[in-house]
Structure formats: C-alpha cells, structure tokens
Amino acid sequence: MIVRHFLRWIGNARVGERAAAAGALARALLDHQIAFEDRCEVEAALTLLVDDPSPKVRSALAEALSMSPHAPPQIVAALADDQDEVAGVILVRSPLLSDVDLIDRVASSRPSVQALIASRPVVSMSLSAAIAEVGALEACRVLVTNEGAAVASLSFRRIAERFGHEAALREALLNDPRLPGECRHMLLVALGEALRHAPLVRALIGEARAERVTREACVRASLTLIEYTPLDEHAALIEHLRLRGELTAGFLLRAIAHGKVDFLGSVLMILSGHSETRVRAILASGRDVAVFSLFAAAGLAKSLHGVFLRALKVWREVAAGRRVAGAQEVTWLMLNEIDAAPGQKGPAESDRETAALIKAIHLEALRENAREHALAIAAA
C-alpha cells in the first residue's frame, strides 16, 4: 500500500524529495525484517527509480545500495553503467560486482571508469592484470598507488612497458616497494632516454656528450639498483639486462669492483648452469683453480679471470672482517693485477681496453669519495 502511494506521489515530487525518498526506500529494502511481498514491491519501485531523469535521485539510490551484498543485482548493474557521478560509488564499493564484471567494464569503458575500478579497496591480481594490459594512463597510476591492489610482477612489467615514458606514472612505480628489479631498471633506462632527448640537455652539452653522460648514469644507477633487488629477483633482472644487451663483461667488472658479489654469483650460476650452492661456495672460499673453472664455464673471457679473482679476494677479506676496503682500493689492486697502475710498465695489448675501463671506475670512485669527504667536512 505504501509503495502504491509512493509511485503515485513521485510523479509530482521535486528532485530533492525524490532523492530523499529513493535513499529511504533503498535502505528499507536492505532491512531483512520486512515481509517478502513488501520487498518485491519495494524492489519494483526502486527499479523504476533507476530511470529517474535526475542524477541526484540515482546517486542517492547508488549511495544507499553501494555496500550491500543483498542489493538487487539488476539495479546495481544498471547503476554501474550510469554516468560517472552515479556509477562511481557502485564501481568502487559494490561487493556484487565480480572480477568478471569488472574486467569486462575495464575492457569496454572510458578512462574515468577504469580509474574508479582501479581505486576499489580490494583489487584482485586478475583485475590488476586487466587494468595493466588495457587500462588508460590514469587507471594504471591509480592502480599502482592503491595499497589494496594485488599486482603481479608481470603486470608491473606491462605497465612499465606501456607508460614508462610518463613522468607521473614512472615516479609512482619507482616509489612502490613491490616493483621488481627488472622493472626498476626499465624505468631507469626510460628516464635516461627522456633526459638524453631533452632539448635543454642537448643544447647545453651537445648530443654526443648527452648520450655518453646518460649512458654512464644509467650504468651507475643499475649498480645501485642491484643493492635493492632481493636475491630471488636477481634472475629476472639478469634476464632483462641480457635481453637488452647490457649484461656485458664491462658491467660485470663494475659490479665486482663495487662489491656486488651476490649478483655476480647469480650471473655465474645462470651462465654456467651450476647449482646455486656450488657457485656460492666457490665464490666464498674456493681455490683459484675452481674460481677460474667457474669463470670459464660462464663464458667469461680468460683475459679477465685475473682481475675478477683479485677483486673477489679483497671482498672475501672484507666479508671476513680482515680488511676495510671500497671500490677505490679494489680498482687500484685490479689495475695492479694487469700492470696498469701508475709506475708499472703498462698493460699488455690485450688488456688495454680492460685497463681503461677499470681506470674509469677507479677515477669515479676517487671523485665520489672526495665528494663525500667534502660534504662531511662541511657538515661538521
């Protein structure tokens, strides 16, 4: 009876009155104490209100039903397809929208709707994958900043591939502790490319120098990245570097010079096919012949074996507490190993390229140590 009066009254009621009535009626429907016949009438009336010409009325209806698992599914589905002002609370809150529903909407909706879905309190890994694959820039940014979203490594990688050139999203990704190491490297490379092509940078230092500076900066950033990459993610990062052609002997020389022995172990394990236990044992305490055999199995040039072993022995002593050393001291000893340090006769022809690279790393370490010393003096 009340619903009949409501349906007669609603045709002449003002928008504000209709909105208040819609909310009240929706809340009444969610009250499990009303009789079944009354529930059917109320549901019919609410279904009629879905077609109300005023978005305020439909918004009131959506607000009242948005968080209930007992809301009529046909009404929730209709409201979810409404304009953003109405659909927003349903898309963000409603427990009645399954992953299948939400994935379909991500694939077919405008960017604003995708962003609303990405902001749900809980976003499953499959829904995150759909957003990462077809979502617009803003939807992916919202997803990355949503602490309630479960994002797979593959989805992070896909977002980085699609939008790594966008500064805002790149920053959001780099600030996410869940981001895999290879994705961080991908973004660092994208940042380097952006800087290299920046008109101001090219105008100030020239195209050739800009390319060299950014390449060297990316290499140094990659070494820093290794420190923050968990051991179980080394394999993915190594594969990423290998596919990009950056897993070179020169890169490994930098790694061992800076004490990245665990990373070198992961590389040698992958390239040699030896077990992790065996590789770690050889690097930690193996005899010279065992180390050389491991280097050979990994395909490392024989001319580099001596400098790698020299650096490895220093880091062994550091790890055992018998020595204090850094990249500056290690690279000096590496230069000594191939007669390339000042006062020595000079490297053999076959070692000149290696000597030049180690010297460059040594000079970088000298500059960095001097810079840190100056800053410490200034701060004292």
Q: What pLDDT, in 10s, does the model give residues 139-189?
A: 999 999 999 999 988 888 889 888 888 888 888 888 888 888 778 877 777
Residue 371 falls within a domain, yes or no? yes
Query: Where among 65, 87, 109 does a domain terminate?
Result: 87
Under 8 Å CB-to-CB from 44, ≥6 apart: which residues? 3
Over residues 220-261, the pLDDT tens digits come to 667 777 777 788 778 877 877 787 777 888 889 989 999 999
Q: Is 21 helix (H, G, I), strand (E, B) or coil?
A: helix
Q: Are residues 52 and 109 in the same domain?
A: no
Q: Are residues 233 and 275 in the same domain?
A: no
Instruction: Report whether pLDDT(1) > 60.
Output: no
Q: Are residues 157 and 216 in the same domain?
A: no
Under 8 Å CB-to-CB from 101, ≥6 apart: which residues? 77, 80
- Residue 194: the pLDDT is 65
Q: Are residues 277 and 376 in the same domain?
A: yes
User: Of 365 and 197, which is predicted with more confidence?
Assistant: 365
Number of domains in the chain: 4
Query: Where among 208, 225, 247 does a domain terminate?
Result: 247
Under 8 Å CB-to-CB from 283, ≥6 apart: which residues? 261, 264, 265, 268, 291, 294, 312
Residue 6 falls within a domain, yes or no? yes
Q: Are residues 243 and 261 in the same domain?
A: no
Instruction: List the beta strands (DSSP E) in the chain.
Output: none
pTM: 0.60
Residue 212 falls within a domain, yes or no? yes
Cα distances (Å, whole numbers) of residue 289 to 4, 249, 284, 294, 306 = 94, 20, 14, 9, 11
Give the pLDDT band of residue 96 (cuts 50, 70, 90). Answer: very high
Separation CA 15–CA 18 (nearest Å): 5
Separation CA 207–CA 195 (nearest Å): 11
Radius of gyration from C-alpha coordinates of the chain: 31
Residue 173 falls within a domain, yes or no? no
What is the share, in percent, of the chain residues with pLDDT greater than 90?
A: 33
Q: Are residues 264 and 379 in the same domain?
A: yes
Query: Where among 225, 247, 269 does a domain terminate?
Result: 247
Q: Is 117 helix (H, G, I), strand (E, B) or coil?
A: helix
CA-nearest of 290, 300, 326 to 311 is 326
Q: Are residues 263 and 199 in the same domain?
A: no
- Residue 319: the pLDDT is 92
Q: Are residues 261 and 376 in the same domain?
A: yes
Amino acid letter at 375? L
Separation CA 181–CA 168 (nearest Å): 19
Q: Are residues 148 and 76 in the same domain?
A: no
Over residues 179-225, the pLDDT tens digits come to 887 788 777 777 666 666 667 656 665 666 656 656 666 666 677 77
Residue 312 falls within a domain, yes or no? yes
Average pLDDT value for the chain: 84
Q: Are residues 105 and 74 in the same domain?
A: no
Instruction: Report whether pLDDT(55) > 60.
Output: yes
Range(s) of the domain holding residue 231 = 180-247
Instruction: Please tell me the least confidently modeled range out of 29-33, 40-44, 262-266, 368-372.
Output: 29-33
